[in-house]
Protein backbone atom coordinates (compact mmCIF):
# COMPACT_ATOMS: atom_id res chain seq x y z
CA UNK A 1 0.00 0.00 0.00
CA UNK A 2 1.39 3.36 -1.00
CA UNK A 3 1.57 6.09 1.62
CA UNK A 4 1.76 8.95 -0.91
CA UNK A 5 -0.22 10.10 -3.89
CA UNK A 6 0.67 11.25 -7.36
CA UNK A 7 -0.92 14.15 -9.20
CA UNK A 8 -0.86 13.75 -12.96
CA UNK A 9 -0.10 16.72 -15.16
CA UNK A 10 -2.14 17.34 -18.33
CA UNK A 11 0.50 15.88 -20.60
CA UNK A 12 0.85 12.78 -18.38
CA UNK A 13 -2.83 12.01 -18.93
CA UNK A 14 -2.51 12.47 -22.70
CA UNK A 15 0.56 10.24 -22.86
CA UNK A 16 -1.23 7.52 -20.85
CA UNK A 17 -4.30 7.88 -23.03
CA UNK A 18 -2.19 7.53 -26.17
CA UNK A 19 -0.49 4.44 -24.76
CA UNK A 20 -3.85 2.83 -23.89
CA UNK A 21 -5.39 3.56 -27.27
CA UNK A 22 -2.63 2.48 -29.57
CA UNK A 23 -0.56 5.65 -29.46
CA UNK A 24 -1.18 6.41 -33.10
CA UNK A 25 -0.79 9.70 -34.87
CA UNK A 26 0.48 12.85 -33.26
CA UNK A 27 -0.03 11.60 -29.69
CA UNK A 28 2.21 8.59 -30.22
CA UNK A 29 4.91 10.66 -31.89
CA UNK A 30 4.93 13.23 -29.11
CA UNK A 31 5.00 10.50 -26.46
CA UNK A 32 8.12 9.02 -28.04
CA UNK A 33 9.72 12.44 -28.58
CA UNK A 34 9.03 13.38 -24.95
CA UNK A 35 10.54 10.13 -23.65
CA UNK A 36 13.67 10.56 -25.77
CA UNK A 37 14.07 14.22 -24.76
CA UNK A 38 13.56 13.39 -21.09
CA UNK A 39 16.28 10.74 -21.32
CA UNK A 40 18.73 13.09 -23.04
CA UNK A 41 17.83 15.82 -20.53
CA UNK A 42 18.50 13.47 -17.62
CA UNK A 43 21.95 12.64 -19.02
CA UNK A 44 22.74 16.35 -19.47
CA UNK A 45 21.54 17.08 -15.95
CA UNK A 46 23.74 14.34 -14.52
CA UNK A 47 26.76 15.55 -16.46
CA UNK A 48 26.10 19.12 -15.30
CA UNK A 49 26.10 18.00 -11.68
CA UNK A 50 29.22 15.90 -12.15
CA UNK A 51 31.20 18.73 -13.76
CA UNK A 52 30.05 21.13 -11.05
CA UNK A 53 31.32 18.72 -8.38
CA UNK A 54 34.63 18.34 -10.24
CA UNK A 55 34.95 22.14 -10.48
CA UNK A 56 34.37 22.48 -6.74
CA UNK A 57 36.98 19.80 -6.06
CA UNK A 58 39.52 21.59 -8.27
CA UNK A 59 38.76 24.91 -6.52
CA UNK A 60 39.25 23.18 -3.16
CA UNK A 61 42.59 21.76 -4.32
CA UNK A 62 43.62 25.27 -5.41
CA UNK A 63 42.79 26.63 -1.95
CA UNK A 64 44.80 23.85 -0.30
CA UNK A 65 47.82 24.57 -2.51
CA UNK A 66 47.55 28.31 -1.79
CA UNK A 67 47.57 27.58 1.94
CA UNK A 68 50.56 25.27 1.57
CA UNK A 69 52.37 27.94 -0.48
CA UNK A 70 51.60 30.52 2.20
CA UNK A 71 53.08 28.19 4.81
CA UNK A 72 56.23 27.83 2.70
CA UNK A 73 56.53 31.60 2.27
CA UNK A 74 56.17 32.03 6.05
CA UNK A 75 58.90 29.46 6.57
CA UNK A 76 61.04 31.31 3.99
CA UNK A 77 60.50 34.59 5.86
CA UNK A 78 61.46 32.94 9.16
CA UNK A 79 64.74 31.76 7.60
CA UNK A 80 65.24 35.23 6.13
CA UNK A 81 64.74 36.83 9.56
CA UNK A 82 67.22 34.42 11.12
CA UNK A 83 69.73 35.20 8.37
CA UNK A 84 69.26 38.95 8.94
CA UNK A 85 69.75 38.50 12.69
CA UNK A 86 72.91 36.51 12.09
CA UNK A 87 74.20 39.23 9.73
CA UNK A 88 73.60 41.90 12.37
CA UNK A 89 75.23 39.71 15.01
CA UNK A 90 78.22 39.18 12.71
CA UNK A 91 78.95 42.90 12.91
CA UNK A 92 78.49 43.01 16.69
CA UNK A 93 80.30 39.95 18.00
CA UNK A 94 84.02 39.65 18.59
CA UNK A 95 86.13 38.35 15.71
CA UNK A 96 86.70 34.93 17.35
CA UNK A 97 82.91 34.17 17.22
CA UNK A 98 82.26 35.37 13.68
CA UNK A 99 82.89 31.99 12.04
CA UNK A 100 79.82 30.45 13.72
CA UNK A 101 77.63 33.33 12.52
CA UNK A 102 79.08 33.16 9.01
CA UNK A 103 78.24 29.45 8.87
CA UNK A 104 74.72 30.17 10.08
CA UNK A 105 74.27 32.86 7.43
CA UNK A 106 75.37 30.45 4.70
CA UNK A 107 73.10 27.74 6.12
CA UNK A 108 70.07 30.06 6.13
CA UNK A 109 70.83 31.15 2.55
CA UNK A 110 71.04 27.51 1.46
CA UNK A 111 67.87 26.59 3.39
CA UNK A 112 65.85 29.38 1.77
CA UNK A 113 66.34 28.31 -1.86
CA UNK A 114 64.44 24.99 -1.73
CA UNK A 115 61.75 26.58 0.42
CA UNK A 116 61.23 29.35 -2.14
CA UNK A 117 61.20 26.78 -4.98
CA UNK A 118 58.56 24.71 -3.15
CA UNK A 119 56.41 27.82 -2.51
CA UNK A 120 56.56 28.80 -6.19
CA UNK A 121 55.72 25.23 -7.24
CA UNK A 122 52.68 25.21 -4.93
CA UNK A 123 51.54 28.58 -6.29
CA UNK A 124 51.82 27.20 -9.82
CA UNK A 125 49.78 24.12 -8.86
CA UNK A 126 47.14 26.39 -7.28
CA UNK A 127 46.91 28.41 -10.48
CA UNK A 128 46.52 25.21 -12.53
CA UNK A 129 43.72 23.99 -10.24
CA UNK A 130 42.01 27.40 -10.49
CA UNK A 131 42.20 27.25 -14.29
CA UNK A 132 40.86 23.68 -14.29
CA UNK A 133 37.97 24.77 -12.06
CA UNK A 134 37.14 27.65 -14.41
CA UNK A 135 37.07 25.31 -17.42
CA UNK A 136 34.89 22.81 -15.58
CA UNK A 137 32.46 25.55 -14.52
CA UNK A 138 32.19 26.67 -18.15
CA UNK A 139 31.41 23.09 -19.12
CA UNK A 140 28.90 22.84 -16.24
CA UNK A 141 27.11 25.92 -17.57
CA UNK A 142 26.91 24.32 -21.02
CA UNK A 143 25.34 21.18 -19.52
CA UNK A 144 22.89 23.33 -17.53
CA UNK A 145 21.97 25.30 -20.67
CA UNK A 146 21.39 22.05 -22.58
CA UNK A 147 19.20 20.71 -19.78
CA UNK A 148 17.14 23.91 -19.66
CA UNK A 149 16.59 24.03 -23.43
CA UNK A 150 15.57 20.34 -23.43
CA UNK A 151 13.10 21.03 -20.62
CA UNK A 152 11.62 23.85 -22.69
CA UNK A 153 11.29 21.48 -25.66
CA UNK A 154 9.46 18.96 -23.43
CA UNK A 155 7.09 21.72 -22.32
CA UNK A 156 6.49 22.60 -25.97
CA UNK A 157 5.73 18.94 -26.65
CA UNK A 158 3.09 18.99 -23.93
CA UNK A 159 1.55 22.15 -25.39
CA UNK A 160 1.62 20.60 -28.88
CA UNK A 161 -0.11 17.51 -27.53
CA UNK A 162 -2.78 19.49 -25.72
CA UNK A 163 -3.48 21.89 -28.58
CA UNK A 164 -2.92 19.37 -31.38
CA UNK A 165 -0.87 21.97 -33.28
CA UNK A 166 1.54 20.32 -35.68
CA UNK A 167 3.70 23.46 -35.92
CA UNK A 168 4.34 23.22 -32.17
CA UNK A 169 5.54 19.67 -32.67
CA UNK A 170 8.03 20.99 -35.24
CA UNK A 171 8.94 23.77 -32.78
CA UNK A 172 9.55 21.08 -30.17
CA UNK A 173 11.98 19.33 -32.49
CA UNK A 174 13.72 22.61 -33.38
CA UNK A 175 14.21 23.61 -29.75
CA UNK A 176 15.27 20.04 -28.92
CA UNK A 177 17.87 20.26 -31.69
CA UNK A 178 19.31 23.39 -30.09
CA UNK A 179 19.40 21.65 -26.69
CA UNK A 180 21.14 18.62 -28.16
CA UNK A 181 23.64 20.87 -29.96
CA UNK A 182 24.45 22.66 -26.69
CA UNK A 183 24.83 19.26 -25.00
CA UNK A 184 27.25 18.18 -27.71
CA UNK A 185 29.19 21.43 -27.18
CA UNK A 186 29.36 20.61 -23.46
CA UNK A 187 30.56 17.09 -24.24
CA UNK A 188 33.23 18.45 -26.58
CA UNK A 189 34.20 21.04 -23.93
CA UNK A 190 33.51 23.95 -26.28
Mind listing the pLDDT tens digit of every residue in the chain (190 residues)? 445 555 555 556 655 655 555 445 778 889 999 999 999 999 999 999 999 999 999 999 999 999 999 999 999 999 999 999 988 988 888 888 888 889 988 999 999 999 999 999 999 999 999 999 999 999 999 999 999 999 999 999 999 988 888 898 999 999 999 999 999 999 998 8
pLDDT at 34: 92
CA angle 98, 100, 105 (to 5 degrees): 90
Q: Cα separation of 19 and 5, whole Å?
A: 22
What confidence score (pLDDT) does residue 4 get? Answer: 55
CB 79 within 8 A of CB 174: no
Q: What is the pLDDT of residue 1?
A: 45
Angle subtended by helix axes 25-92 and 10-20, to nearest 10: 130
In angstroms, the CA 150 to CA 41 distance is 6
Phi, psi (degrees; rounded to nearest 5) at 22? 90, -20
Nearest to 159 by CA among 8, 44, 9: 9
pTM higher than 0.85, yes or no? no
What's the pLDDT at 5?
A: 55
pLDDT at 164: 87
Amino acid sequence: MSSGFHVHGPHDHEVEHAAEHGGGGMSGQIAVITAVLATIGAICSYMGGATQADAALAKNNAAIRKTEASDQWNFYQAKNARQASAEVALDLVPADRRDAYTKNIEKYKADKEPIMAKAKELEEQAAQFDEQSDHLMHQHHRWAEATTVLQVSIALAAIALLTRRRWLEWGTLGVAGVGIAVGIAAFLKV
